[in-house]
Structure 1
Amino acid sequence: MDAQKVTLRKMTLSEYDAATEHREAEATRELSKFMPQELARERTRQGTAQFLPDGLDTAGHHLVVAENGSGEIVGNAWIGPDPRQASGTTSSAWLYDINVFAPFRRRGYGSAILDAAEELVSREGKTSLNLNVVGGNEAAIAMYQRNGYDVSSMYLSKRVQR
């Protein structure tokens, strides 16, 4: 398979709304494995409000769609400051979210979006792009590893019942 290429552009307001709805639904689904669904939904919404206080126009954050060479929107991403570092003092960026739309999955677009995100943060003077991935998302983990990402820490959890 030939390597895919994408171009990133800023989301429109309607694209941002759809991406936020999708991201929050996915995060709520994952968190609901560890807490009641209503609490998971509230925590997810609080996270969006905390990290994107000005929505699409939050300074320092890139909320982008990825277009292939034919102009089709194949996915989106949210790239911003590394939340583990003090504001304005870091050489690393954070990939908060990446999404390849269903018709384009398993065709190399995830890697293409990662490559474009890396180019974006490199142009801003960043020297690393970091991210979290859900432990059970084996397809995503494999894609990140194929693209040179290594595990830098691991957080384990087990739900216990009494």
Structure 2
Amino acid sequence: MDTQKVTLRKMTPAEYEAATEHREGETARALGKFMPEELAAERARQGTAQFLPDGLDTPGHHLVVAENSSGEVVGNAWIGPDPRQAAGTADSAWLYDINVFPPYRRHGYGSALLAAAENLVAAEGRTSLNLNVVGDNTGAIALYRSSGYEVATMYLSKNLRASGPSGGSGDD
């Protein structure tokens, strides 16, 4: 695989709308495994409203696209304050979303986009970049592991509607 480099720039309003639509759709699909489809879609919209109240111009958030050396937009990312830390006190940033567009996947652009995001937050004086990943997103998990990310906490869930009760006590 080639080593790629990307340049980040702020999204245009049209790019922001497309990224928001994609992100909310993906979030709703992931949440839809655990709740009704309409509720999952509403939760995805609420997340955007909560964390990006001013949309593209929300202070402290970077909504960026990644361009390759030919100037092609290969993906996008949303980087902002770590939601687990009090505003103005965070030494870490949060990767809310990262997306490499299908034609550019498996060509090193995910690693390049992640490295560019890390450089962006390091230049702001942040000491870490944190994120969540859905457990069945094996491609993303492989990308993060190969980039040096480690599991800091693990949240597990079991859909009891789909599998029924196990009858176990958890002490097995």
Q: Same fold (TM over 0.5)?
A: yes
SS of structure 1 residue aligned to 2:160: coil
Q: Which residue of 2 aligns with 1:142?
A: 142
Alignment of 1:5-154 (within 5 A): 5-154=5-154
Measured against aligned partners, the alpha-carbon deviations of 1:4-61 in whole angstroms (never above 9, x if no partner) come to 0000000000000000000000000110000000000111101000000000000000
Pick the structure with greater CA Rg: 2
Q: Which residue of 1 aligns with 2:170?
A: none
Q: Name structure 1 gaps, 5 residues minimum.
A: none
Following superposition, the deviation at residue 2 of structure 1 comes to 2.6
TM-score, scaled relative to structure 2: 0.93
Alpha-carbon separation, structure 2, partners of 1:109 and 1:27: 22
Following superposition, the deviation at residue 158 of structure 1 comes to 0.3
Alpha-carbon separation, structure 1, partners of 2:34 and 2:79: 26
Alpha-carbon separation, structure 2, partners of 1:46 and 1:104: 30
Alpha-carbon separation, structure 2, partners of 1:2 and 1:74: 15
Measured against aligned partners, the alpha-carbon deviations of 1:75-128 in whole angstroms (never above 9, x if no partner) come to 000000000000010100000000000000000000000000000000000000
Alpha-carbon separation, structure 1, partners of 2:2 and 2:65: 21
Following superposition, the deviation at residue 138 of structure 1 comes to 0.6
Q: CA RMSD in A?
A: 0.7
The letter for the 1-side match of 2:41 is R
SS of structure 2 residue aligned to 1:84: coil
Q: Does the 8 Å contact 2:4/2:109 carry over to 1?
A: yes
Structure 1 ranges of 4+ moved more than 3 A:
none
Alpha-carbon separation, structure 1, partners of 2:123 and 2:5: 17
Alpha-carbon separation, structure 1, partners of 2:73 and 2:106: 15
Q: Name structure 2 gaps, 5 residues minimum.
A: 165-172
TM-score, scaled relative to structure 1: 0.99
Identity %: 75
